[in-house]
A and B are shown apart, each in its own frame.
Chain A
């Protein structure tokens, strides 16, 4: 399983814990999870810390665009690129 897939799974797991398994089927992967009301900013930071610890990635969002990196696709892309860099 690729890193990107594993990260995506972790994100879905967090969302399922908060909203239930049924709620995660119809999530728009390009919409910000915060704008969609699925996570608040503290939930999001907690999720990032989890991913950082689990996959040993150093997070640096200095130049990242918050609208895109708070969406599932944007976050997975950003984090898996970091790993290869």
Chain B
């Protein structure tokens, strides 16, 4: 059965599907709002851009796209205009739905994109739609479920198209594995531009459970929200759990109702997993791993607090039963199986670089270096390239460098992520005479091109750039320099 059909056969229409901005919506209401939105969309183009942020309009729009077999593309409301334009042009978007709170972004976009139709969906529209029953037609023959854009080393974001068949492969496995019911209350913390947000929506709604959207300001202290709303499933990046630990929110048995504590997006420290397990003693703590290119996640490890782990990070574990993961001679992790995408959007060169043959089989080459431990589980070791994760977001340091070099007209520029153990920020080293004006201009220009998590927190000027014996910039020295400041 297609995902669109699975979503429409939810058992009880009067059960709650969503809690957002202080209000509950039942499955019947979510469906009505979704159909009313889908009814606004033309049939000439299957791709729909969604410019809203974790509000009822956003969730109903995604629901509407999925049940009518449309392709949705989340547009980051915090992204700079230039990045949004690049995403819209690359994907050939003709229809964009937006919440009126982002009308100022639309005003700017219209000037550059005269051929795109913008359709405002406000709360009044949603309220009215709850009183109507609209039959919507599904699009036939549209294969793509969504396109996510990630940081690209050449200076512009690259599109990762995921098909309905990739997605069904993930959701069929995950819904069965977790076995959630209509009684489960699931956290929603991920940004729409992060593919883990698709897990939140899809797995919750396919199981008939209720999704609880944690407001942005409550994200600093989610403990109170978990208790108040009696959540049973938690899913975040490990950085969020680290903040909770730091602020005294992981006390013993703090969250006895949690059944699952899921983590993904960056390495999970064993100590943190232990702390979370203590705070949520009745939950299965699961470390998920997977690149966007292989649809949300493709391997898992169930944490066991009684076990002595050899490394400081929890293993990324074993591939899902329908996926294959192997390491080549260099240790690079290669993935094949139904969840692997077909290639980057309009980017043959990048596709050929990453989808290649290995021992007569085609694999997606992740760029992650892994090794098998004594138990045969995969452990994440490092990256082959310059990619880092900042609070779970993929960042190609080369993208920051390419853009900075062009702006400064200076080839001796190098960004690094710090602190080394769990990177949270970017520092930019520039070779040359320190100049506060140039520095400010650079940061202002970077802000107009890159998302906020890619903007350097520190700029350091150096008289000479340290080089290693190969003549490359010596990042170890840069890390040491940073620590001594």
Query: A27 contacts the other chain (Cβ, under 8 Å)?
Result: no
Say yes or no: A62-B223 contact (C-beta < 8 A), given A32-B217, A41-B243: yes
Within 8 A of A (CB), among B211-226: 216-221, 223-224
Interface size class of A (residues with CB under 8 A): 20 to 34
Alpha-carbon distance between A59 and B221 when the two chains are bound, in angstroms: 12
Query: A23 contacts the other chain (Cβ, under 8 Å)?
Result: no
Alpha-carbon distance between A44 and B246 when the two chains are bound, in angstroms: 12
Query: B247 contacts the other chain (Cβ, under 8 Å)?
Result: yes
Query: B424 contacts the other chain (Cβ, under 8 Å)?
Result: yes
Number of A-B residue pairs at CB separation under 8 A: 52
- From residue A17, how far is it (CB to closest CB) to chain B in Å? 11
B221 nearest in chain A by CB position: A66
A41 nearest in chain B by CB position: B220
Chain B residues lying within 8 Å of A32, measured Cβ to Cβ, are 217
Contact A45 B246 (CB under 8 A): yes
Within 8 A of A (CB), among B197-251: 216-221, 223-224, 243, 246-249, 251
Q: Mark A32-65, 1 if CB is under 8 A from B, else 0.
A: 1011000011101100110000000001111111
Alpha-carbon distance between A64 and B216 when the two chains are bound, in angstroms: 16
Q: Mark B391-411, 1 if CB is under 8 A from A, else 0.
A: 100000000000000000000
Say yes or no: A62-B248 contact (C-beta < 8 A), given A34-B220, A67-B218: yes
Chain B residues lying within 8 Å of A70, measured Cβ to Cβ, are 217, 220
- From residue B102, how far is it (CB to closest CB) to chain A in Å? 14
A33 nearest in chain B by CB position: B217
- From residue A77, how far is it (CB to closest CB) to chain B in Å? 15
Contact A66 B217 (CB under 8 A): yes
Alpha-carbon distance between A46 and B246 when the two chains are bound, in angstroms: 11
B222 nearest in chain A by CB position: A66
Query: B312 contacts the other chain (Cβ, under 8 Å)?
Result: no
Chain B residues lying within 8 Å of A64, measured Cβ to Cβ, are 221, 224
Contact A35 B217 (CB under 8 A): yes
Q: Of B219, B224, B247, B424, which is within 8 A of A60 by CB? A: B247
Alpha-carbon distance between A70 and B221 when the two chains are bound, in angstroms: 10
Query: B452 contacts the other chain (Cβ, under 8 Å)?
Result: yes
Contact B219 A41 (CB under 8 A): yes
Alpha-carbon distance between A64 and B249 when the two chains are bound, in angstroms: 10
- From residue B21, how far is it (CB to closest CB) to chain A in Å? 14
A-B contact pairs, 17 of them (CB 8 A): A40-B452, A41-B243, A42-B391, A42-B425, A48-B247, A59-B247, A60-B248, A61-B220, A61-B249, A62-B254, A63-B224, A64-B224, A66-B219, A67-B217, A69-B221, A70-B217, A70-B220
Q: Which residues of A contact B (CB under 8 A)?
A: 32, 34-35, 40-42, 44-45, 48-49, 59-67, 69-70
Q: Which residues of B contact A (CB under 8 A)?
A: 216-221, 223-224, 243, 246-249, 251, 254, 391, 424-425, 452
Lowest 7 CB-CB distances: which A-B pairs, in order? A60-B248, A66-B221, A61-B247, A66-B220, A66-B218, A62-B248, A32-B217
